[in-house]
Structure 1
Amino acid sequence: MKQLPLLQRIGPLMLFLITAQCLLGPAWAQEAGRPELVIQNGHSDGVNAVAFSPDGKYIASGSRDRTLKLWEAEAHRLVRTLEGHSHWVNAVAFSPDAGTLASGSYDKTLKLWEVSTGRLLRTLEGFSEPIFSVAFSPDGKILASGSGKAIQFWEAGTGRLIRTLEGHSDSVLSIAFSPEGSILASGSADSTVRLWEVETGQPMKTLEGHFTLVDTVAFSPDGRTLVSGSRYNVLKLWEVGKGRLIQTLEGHSDSIFAVAFSPNGRYIASGSRDRTLKLWEASTGQLLRTLEGHSDSVFAIAFSPDGKTLVSGSADGTLKLWEVATGQLLQTLEERSVGVFSVAFSPDGKYLASGGDDHTLKLWKAGTGQLVRTLAGHSDRVFSVAFSPDGKYIVSGSSDRTLKLWEVDTGELIRTFKGHSEEVLSVAFSPDGKYIVSGSSDHTLRLWEASTGRGVRTLYGHTGPVESVAFSPNAKYIASGSDDGTLKLWETSTGRLVRTLKGHSGKVTSVAFSPDGKILASGGEDRTLKLWKAETGQTLQTLEGHTWPLSWVAFSPNGKYLASGGGDHTLRLWEASTGRLLRSLEGHSGWIDSIAFSPDSKTLASGSEDTTLKIWSVDRGELLVTLLAFKDGNFIAYTPAGYYTASPDGDRYIGWTVHPEPNHSVETYPAQQFAKGFYQPEVVEKVLATRSLAELK
């Protein structure tokens, strides 16, 4: 991307847009084409699908993190992330004019997106099975999908179902149109490849020879040859006209998930569970080279329209771009920020602590969004953090089987608690600060003396990992939730099991006491939030609404609210006294693992596997600021309108997408292009102080 001087490129327009943004708010500015801040970050889970746009400008990727990402191919810059699917994105395809992007998902929907704006155009529903493959006909009139044992033809412009092609005896895993558009090929879990006449939908030929699932098919540019890949580790080349097997290509040591012909027809590329890509000479079947670099299965591959570049998507969460002529790795597009498993406010509200997948704790200034320090010492993921009641210490629990106690002011490691034989999933301080309780995958709770690290006792009784622990406000009891489907209430002073609460139909992932200690809340794998009478164990209420398992529940300190979050990427805020749903907070693109209220109950923090820590206004339900910490120690904190603060080198993870006028391409720019207008730490601080975005208007 050309780096033109700011004023030369958009000077007066930029000044106008910033002024308009301040006066009229973010919604107007985005519609008018205001630059949009885009964090340059990859997928947070495996990449199932990739595609180059026919004009070569963009790469689309679909992931198990339920998102699509659109990348600028030349600059390797993220244009935008498309959210809307509720399960894995299995397939992506561009329309021939590059104006529309189609995506198929495990959520049994097919979505059409406008490439230039990212706007969702249409959702096609009615599928009874996940969608594993999508393809546009060469003339762009038909959109085909593979779902269940059938193939569906849709009118691309209207979403009208044209016809359904049936014949496979198991799931259709891959489809491809011939270059001239008269034939559709399909690969299936029934071990066959079928050829269909597009105009009539009639079957033409069944190609047999694979011994197991056929995950991928592709036509040669001249349409005469078809390549298929199976989980029997081989590729097969077929003569389309006669349905004759030409050749079997062996070389991969595990299942083949992806194949593609180069645009000139000279090469075939394949991607495999053996973590490699292989490049073959199409005319002879000779293996030319093996491309190594992925650390997990290669699920998807695509050639650029000019044939010079190959992109691959992997279960390792990355996209890699390769030079076809040499096999050289050109670029890796990956997640560079830190997943957030746990969050906690300090008792005075000045700090936020977060634990992540980089084995560290982060200490943030809650009033500014600034990263204060990183606490390093664990050797694995940090699943849980908690402040001492006086705010002087933080305790953390980790996959490394230890708890660690840290001094807040200095970040110094005070002591390490050892005793659990498996990962530590949850930790909590007693209200008087004397004790720490921990829950572990070893099925036990352990009570520790905070001042010495001495193990006081071990509580046995659960038959599954202990996901969550909590002290009652008077410190007399400890509550625990477990994968065994139960909550247990223990007497702190003796370790005696007081009672077992049963009601969830799956794992109990989170427990929390109300501030007065009278109610116990629990969240479960069964997607429900339950309220229990702490004194008797009686079920008071079951709150439903989440569409995926819950990870966390929390009472507000004033007792008015109950918050829940989990796998559906949403936070729900409930009225504690009635169980009435007050609002749903949307903004995360990954599993929400932790929630914390500020001491004054006015702010809610949420940590997610999408690598963000988000701060919300409880009263308004507004997203105020998003915090990201990166693996190299940098950070960014930004408002929905794009105003940000960052570490000295943190803005290198920022890109800007300028929304186009009609019939114009999307344009992207690096951070410095708009830093003068949007690097505004004082704006971030003001939003956090007022707990409102209204001041910016």
Structure 2
Amino acid sequence: MIIRRRGIFTVTLASLCVAALVVGCASQRKAPVASEKLGALEAKAKQRNPNEPPDYAMLRIGTEMHTTRINRIAIDAMNRYVATASNDKTVKVWEIATGKLVTTLRPPIGEGNEGKIYAVAITPDGSTIACTGWTGWDWNRNASIYFFNTQSGALLHKLDGFPGVIFNLVYSRDGSHLAVCLEGSYGMRVYRTAGFELVGSDSGYGAQSNGGDFDARGRLVTTSYDGSLRLYDEKFDLIKKISTKSSKDPSRVAFSPDGSLIAVGFDRQPKVDVYSGEDLEYQYSPDTEGAKWGLFSVGWSIDGATLYAGGSYDNNGVVPLLKWAYAGKGPKQELAASSDSIQQILPLANGNVLFCTSEPSWGVFNPWDQRVMYVSPPISNFRFKDTRFSVSRDGSMVLFGLTYNQKEKALFSLRDRALTPAPVVIPDDLERPRESSESIKIINWKHNLAPSVNGATISLDRNEASRSVAVQSDGSGFLLGADWYLRYFDASGNPVWKVPAPGVAWDVNLSDDGRFAIAAFGDGTIRWFRVSDGSELLALFPHSDGRRWVVWTPRGYFDASDKGDELIGWHINQGMDREALYFPAFAFADELRRPEIIDEVLRSADTDDTVTARLQVNYPDVSELIPGIMGMIEKNKAAGEKNAAQVASVHQVHARNNQVIIASGKIGESLKIGDRVYVMLGDTRVTLEVIFPMQTVAKCMAVGQDVMYLRLLTPGMPVFK
């Protein structure tokens, strides 16, 4: 699929106030008020080196599963792991057999598109994962490929110098070569993995290359939006180039296991072509009668007897995986797979087939058409309109679809901090969005490139579709949600403001009191904006489990349900050559969990900057807090070298909630859920159970009666296993 360059909103903490993590006595100097500290940090942020990744903390959603589209997947030869690459700027590694998350890989990221991962590949032995996309472009002015250790998540190597965004990576079957498919006319490149020597290239492409695959002999086949299919020999010399038969936008491509056939999917047409693996002669096209939209993903069963395809074809709300026996010559079958586009299909050695989707999700079908694995999305479903997005008059309550099948709907109250199932009878105070008024008539706004108001076309960005609309109750203006921006217009259709969207603005509404513009986005968040100027005020992430939630301000003040503080966190780049760090929100609960700030923002409709200045709150800069944790980690590392039993140090203690946050450099490697560790208080052992381990910190709870000792624990105390 074509992925276009658009700015996507990323919440950052670039301008948080400075507050060093102090151990021991407090500073005697009077701290400056919040507004002074904010101004100082704003100036500092503007002075950052544009040739390096941002060095400030960026607030990110940090759920176990991706929150935006999975673009590609890759598996090792033994079928132990599947790596999933996403627009959420991470790669996640899973056990195929269990669906268990192994690790999350975090390359350096930036604002907007920088860091989105469009392609991933894993070496046959499963030891190394390569990922790329819109990576390094903002500071290198060219794209980079990052190579990670699969188990530890360490960034091992970086390959630079690519003149365009990269859309496909694939290792040869023996792992000796890596093929790279680029945007524009830059074509393809092939590198020898030993030393990363360039051994083949073809820049004679007329458009973006979106697919490539190796056969067992080491030959390479690629597609391009110039309408061509290209076949290269083992030395990567071009054997033949043809124009594809069914459409001029070939996308994904796959050799059959024995290399005798090549399947090609198309981006915009419900077609699949099969060509000879020897000379690219057209062979046949499977029956796709009744299918609509693009079938851009293709794959074979491990024995080559079954051909699979999928894409954006939607059959009454269900996106099926299409299946044909006899290598694509049999009748078409439809297997209910997803509610959103199928992005890639790969064969497994046991006869199963693996797929990933835009929901985001990934799953496995067995040869008997049973979906035996499905790792579901954590985000609420705002995409379908069966449940119209409803808000209370004062904007404090929202009603929305919770799950993708629309069977569950939820109500969230900002005032009560409560996420509950929607009542059978909807409260009278909740209003659906008005789609028109006596003075404002909006047409062609639903999934359309050219919406209009009162007969005049509304100007959107090129190829941007409008998705949702809400009109003020007094007819004074309207809110329009689209693919890349949220926009507010006056009654005459004149633009008042627009803000970048963190995902498609599937649903929008306006509070009747005229204060809030509220939008539900494709990343699973609901966000409150001030109608007068478009300033973002609050964001909510309700997990699709219907229990966990977290709400925060743009500068990172938050409140959360039980375990909701595990859903967001701070991404910290460590330069362009090292993996990034990630600290979940609970690591800074002492400094940033401030429900009173949330309350005041809702009451006043002021930004958190204004609220903190009015309340004389000294805002801590997360980037300034990180050295404190890192110092503790380094001390713990040194102590661990002397005493192997020490695995971490106490970072924070929340006795009221029976929580202890511990910090270490390699928690993700040394601790897992359910492990027990302990802290010594004199001769007394205080036992803690690990309930949420992350990369550098872990949340623990005291076991049994040991909870009585939590108030005696202090930061820096060693933790043993």
Calculate the TM-score normalised by the size of structure 1.
0.54
**Residue 396, structure 1, aligned to residue 397, structure 2:** yes
**Residue 204, structure 1, aligned to residue 204, structure 2:** no
Alignment partner of 1:244 out of 259, 266, 281? 281
Please state whether the residue corresponding to 1:153 is helix, strand or coil. Answer: strand
State the partner residue of 2:66.
43
Give me the whole-angstrom Cα distance separating, in 2, the residues matched to 1:622 and 1:228: 51
Give me the whole-angstrom Cα distance separating, in 2, the residues matched to 1:618 and 1:93: 39
**Residue 89, structure 1, aligned to residue 117, structure 2:** yes
State the partner residue of 2:340.
296
State the partner residue of 1:269.
308
Give me the whole-angstrom Cα distance separating, in 2, the residues matched to 1:321 and 1:383: 38
Give me the whole-angstrom Cα distance separating, in 2, the residues matched to 1:523 and 1:403: 21
CA offsets per residue over residues 653-676 of structure 1, 9 Å max, x none? xxx99738xxxxxxx976478896
**Residue 126, structure 1, aligned to residue 161, structure 2:** yes
- The one-letter code of the counterpart of 1:266 is A
The answer (yes or no) to whether the contact 1:441–1:467 under 8 Å persists in 2 is no
Higher RCO structure (Cα 8 Å, ≥6 apart): 2
Alignment partner of 2:76 out of 53, 57, 68? 53
**Residue 677, structure 1, aligned to residue 689, structure 2:** yes
Shift of 1:327: 0.7
State the partner residue of 2:292.
253
CA offsets per residue over residues 184-208 of structure 1, 9 Å max, x none? 1001112221112341533534353
**Residue 322, structure 1, aligned to residue 365, structure 2:** yes
Give me the whole-angstrom Cα distance separating, in 1, the residues matched to 2:364 and 2:195: 35
User: Identity across aligned pairs (percent)?
Assistant: 18
How many residues of Structure 1 are paired with residues of Structure 2 in the alignment?
463
**Residue 460, structure 1, aligned to residue 476, structure 2:** yes
Relative to structure 1, is the Cα distance of residues 88 and 241 closer, same or farther in structure 2, using a 3 angstrom cutoff?
same
CA offsets per residue over residues 80-108 of structure 1, 9 Å max, x none? 12222544322222212221112232444
Shift of 1:618: 1.9
The answer (yes or no) to whether the contact 1:41–1:334 under 8 Å persists in 2 is no
CA offsets per residue over residues 596-653 of structure 1, 9 Å max, x none? 8738999x99xxxxxxxxxx9926644899xxxxxxxxxxxxx9989999999xxxxx
Matches within 5 A, 1:194-593: 194-206=230-242, 208-230=244-266, 231-251=268-288, 252-274=291-313, 275-283=319-327, 285-287=329-331, 289-307=333-351, 309-324=352-367, 326-336=368-378, 395-397=396-398, 408=416, 416=429, 418=431, 421=434, 442=470, 444=472, 460=476, 483-484=497-498, 553=554, 587=583
Shift of 1:495: 10
Please state whether the residue corresponding to 1:249 is helix, strand or coil. Answer: coil
Specify which structure has the higher proportion of strand.
Answer: 1
Relative to structure 1, is the Cα distance of residues 204 and 670 closer, same or farther in structure 2, using a 3 angstrom cutoff?
same
Shift of 1:300: 0.9
Relative to structure 1, is the Cα distance of residues 329 and 168 closer, same or farther in structure 2, using a 3 angstrom cutoff?
same
Give me the whole-angstrom Cα distance separating, in 2, the residues matched to 1:459 and 1:120: 54
Task: Structure 2: give runs of 5+ residues left out of the alignment.
Answer: 1-61, 136-142, 314-318, 402-409, 421-425, 437-467, 489-494, 501-512, 516-526, 538-551, 559-567, 574-579, 586-590, 602-617, 630-648, 659-665, 678-686, 692-699
- The one-letter code of the counterpart of 1:213 is D
**Residue 114, structure 1, aligned to residue 149, structure 2:** yes
The answer (yes or no) to whether the contact 1:66–1:89 under 8 Å persists in 2 is yes
Shift of 1:395: 2.9
Relative to structure 1, is the Cα distance of residues 585 and 173 closer, same or farther in structure 2, using a 3 angstrom cutoff?
closer
State the partner residue of 2:225.
189
Relative to structure 1, is the Cα distance of residues 599 and 188 closer, same or farther in structure 2, using a 3 angstrom cutoff?
closer
The answer (yes or no) to whether the contact 1:227–1:235 under 8 Å persists in 2 is yes
CA offsets per residue over residues 550-584 of structure 1, 9 Å max, x none? x9645999xxxxxxxxx997699xxxxxxxxxxx9
- The one-letter code of the counterpart of 1:196 is Y
CA offsets per residue over residues 233-283 of structure 1, 9 Å max, x none? 222221222331111112243311221222222222222222221222345
CA offsets per residue over residues 372-395 of structure 1, 9 Å max, x none? xxxxxx966689999xxxxxxx93
Shift of 1:134: 0.7
Give me the whole-angstrom Cα distance separating, in 2, the residues matched to 1:460 and 1:685: 57
Give me the whole-angstrom Cα distance separating, in 1, the residues matched to 2:241 and 2:702: 67
Shift of 1:677: 3.2
The answer (yes or no) to whether the contact 1:192–1:210 under 8 Å persists in 2 is no
Please state whether the residue corresponding to 1:659 is helix, strand or coil. Answer: helix
**Residue 165, structure 1, aligned to residue 177, structure 2:** no
Give me the whole-angstrom Cα distance separating, in 2, the residues matched to 1:120 and 1:99: 12
Give me the whole-angstrom Cα distance separating, in 2, the residues matched to 1:410 and 1:320: 32
Alignment partner of 2:87 out of 26, 50, 64? 64
Give me the whole-angstrom Cα distance separating, in 2, the residues matched to 1:443 and 1:691: 55
The answer (yes or no) to whether the contact 1:93–1:101 under 8 Å persists in 2 is yes
Give me the whole-angstrom Cα distance separating, in 1, the residues matched to 2:584 and 2:417: 31
Relative to structure 1, is the Cα distance of residues 253 and 618 closer, same or farther in structure 2, using a 3 angstrom cutoff?
same
State the partner residue of 2:101.
78
Relative to structure 1, is the Cα distance of residues 403 and 100 closer, same or farther in structure 2, using a 3 angstrom cutoff?
closer
The answer (yes or no) to whether the contact 2:653–2:715 under 8 Å persists in 1 is no
Calculate the TM-score normalised by the size of structure 2.
0.52
